[in-house]
């Protein structure tokens, strides 16, 4: 069976790349259509996912789309924008610009009734709007005809070289006789998912896409040279002239150097000085290709746009290998194949 996948808020293609890599017996997933509002993001998606069908990517604000006229599809993926639910931001939840956008995914499900869906958002969704946001979203998904299986995935437990925690909900249409269970982490316990291995093995080719270095100021170089692996600007023993004078921002990511013997901390898509993720040995920020490796994109996946645009695309994506693991669990579910699984850790 081939599931034709439609995507809202598709991003650069982390979910799509994981989906089209997934295969269980004769069961697989192929691209049908995708939508996003950012032009660079859409160009990246087209280049890597569907170069032969560029018109299948709709580059438009979801609020302007005629959702009733989308191409045919069997499954829907939507990583609805997380800005208003992220613990890094102001956590405006439903009161923000992006919080209500999940409703467009719900409406697509109501109109088209695909067999299943995957919805993704940040772990902070569980605490947004005084802890009520997730329950409201799940109820809306159930009300349009789906059994919903929400789970907080800690991707570093699945062999991904990054501590990235995301709520992912699998939904199966009510009339279908399947129940979904998150895949177990047992088979990933002995995988070397340190950031050193992810970035250095194999070495990144000199002509690799998106591998331009950032020129650091002498002051930043001096500061980083005194920050040990795993430390940040607040925990390092810095002389007075190199300390940050910002009282309101004590985020642990600020000038934080990677610990080469652990997975990376979360790759983000935005932020000012000091938030670019810093090499454990060299006094510099990571290149976008190094960040992409932490997100498990293959090296031949080319991001299109300025360096900051590419940084944003990488940071907003779902780790490719993490997506593949979850999609393959869905394919096994529909194929009736048992797999090592666990119970959902979110019960609403």
Mean pLDDT for the chain? 91
CA 86 to chain centre: 12
Position with higher pLDDT, 104 vs 131: 104
What is the model's pLDDT at position 270? 82
Q: State the average pLDDT over residues 109-115.
A: 98
Number of Cβ within 10 Å of residue 295's Cβ equals 27
Quick check: bond before 274 cis, omega within 30?
Answer: no
Put residue 22 in one of left, alpha, beta given phi > 0 → left and psi -120 to 50 → alpha: beta
Query: 30 - beta bridge partners?
Result: 4
CA pair distance 343, 122, nearest whole angstrom: 20
Token pair belonging to 245: 């004078």
Q: State the average pLDDT over residues 149-167.
A: 97
Which alpha helices (H) appear in the chain, and where do they start and end?
14-21, 39-49, 102-112, 128-131, 133-143, 195-200, 218-225, 288-294, 307-316, 320-335
Helix (H, G, I), strand (E, B), or coil: what is residue 242?
helix
Inform me whether the pLDDT recorded for 96 exceeds 50: no
Encode pLDDT of 141-154 as tens digits.
Answer: 999 999 999 999 99
CA pair distance 77, 169, nearest whole angstrom: 10
Token pair belonging to 73: 């599809």
Catalytic residues: 82
Position with higher pLDDT, 348 vs 283: 283
CATH superfamily membership of 2-189+317-335: Vaccinia Virus protein VP39 (3.40.50.150)
Please return the burial class of 14, using the count of CB atoms within 10 Å of its CB with bins 0-12, 13-18 and 19+.
buried
CA pair distance 318, 18, nearest whole angstrom: 9
Q: State the average pLDDT over residues 167-184.
A: 97
Given 3-state DSSP classes, what are the helix, strand and coil percentages for the chain, each rounded to the nearest 5? 35, 15, 50
User: Which pTM was predicted?
Assistant: 0.92
**In sequence order, what DSSP letters do the residues of 159-174 get, joined into one string?**
T-SB--EEEEEEEEET
Those residues whose C-beta lies under 8 Å from the C-beta of residue 136, and which sit 6 or more positions away, are: 94, 129
**Residue 181: pLDDT band by 50, 70, 90 thresholds?**
very high
Those residues whose C-beta lies under 8 Å from the C-beta of residue 55, and which sit 6 or more positions away, are: none
What is the model's pLDDT at position 91? 47
CA pair distance 327, 280, nearest whole angstrom: 33
What is the model's pLDDT at position 99? 53
Where exactly are the structural domains of the chain? 2-189+317-335
CA distance to 209, 328, 333, per residue, from 27 (Å): 32, 9, 11
Taking only Cα atoms into account, the Rg of the chain, rounded to an integer number of angstroms, comes to 20
How big is the CA angle at 160 (ends 155 and 165), to the nearest 5 degrees? 20
CA pair distance 133, 126, nearest whole angstrom: 7
**Residue 129: pLDDT band by 50, 70, 90 thresholds?**
low
Number of Cβ within 10 Å of residue 241's Cβ equals 8
Encode pLDDT of 281-335 as tens digits.
Answer: 999 999 999 999 999 999 999 999 999 999 999 999 999 999 999 999 999 999 9
Number of Cβ within 10 Å of residue 300's Cβ equals 8
Contact criterion met (CB below 8 Å) for 255 and 233: yes
């Amino acid at each position: 069976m081939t599931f034709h996948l439609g995507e809202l808020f598709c991003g650069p293609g982390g979910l799509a790349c994981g989906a089209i890599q997934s295969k269980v017996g004769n069961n697989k997933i192929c691209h049908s259509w995708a939508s996003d509002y950012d032009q660079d993001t859409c160009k990246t998606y087209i280049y890597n996912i569907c170069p032969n069908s560029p018109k299948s990517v709709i580059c438009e604000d979801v609020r302007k789309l005629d959702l009733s006229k989308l191409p045919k599809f069997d499954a829907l993926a939507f990583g609805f924008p997380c800005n208003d639910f992220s613990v890094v931001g102001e956590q405006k939840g439903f009161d923000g610009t992006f919080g209500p956008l999940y409703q467009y995914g719900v409406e697509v499900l109501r109109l088209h009734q695909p067999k299943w869906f995957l919805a993704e958002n940040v772990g902070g969704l569980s605490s947004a709007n005084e802890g009520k946001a997730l329950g409201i979203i799940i109820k809306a998904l159930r009300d349009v005809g789906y059994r919903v299986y929400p789970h907080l995935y800690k991707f570093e437990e699945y062999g991904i070289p990054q501590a990235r925690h995301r709520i992912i909900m699998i939904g199966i249409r009510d009339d279908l006789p399947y129940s979904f269970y998150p895949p177990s982490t047992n088979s990933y316990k002995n995988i070397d998912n340190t950031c050193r291995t992810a970035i250095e093995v194999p070495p990144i080719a000199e002509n690799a896409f998106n591998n331009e270095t950032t020129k650091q100021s002498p002051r930043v170089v001096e500061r980083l040279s005194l920050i040990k692996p795993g430390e940040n600007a607040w925990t390092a023993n810095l002389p007075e002239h190199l300390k940050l004078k910002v009282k309101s921002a004590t985020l642990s990511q600020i000038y934080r150097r990677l610990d080469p013997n652990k997975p990376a901390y979360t790759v983000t898509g935005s932020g000012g000085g000091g938030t670019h993720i810093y090499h454990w040995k060299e006094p510099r920020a990571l290149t976008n290709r190094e960040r992409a490796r932490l997100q498990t994109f293959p090296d031949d996946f080319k991001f299109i746009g300025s360096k900051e645009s590419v940084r944003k695309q990488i940071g907003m994506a779902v780790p490719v290998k993490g997506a593949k693991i979850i999609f393959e669990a869905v394919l096994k579910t529909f194929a009736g194949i048992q797999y090592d699984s666990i119970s959902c850790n979110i019960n609403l």
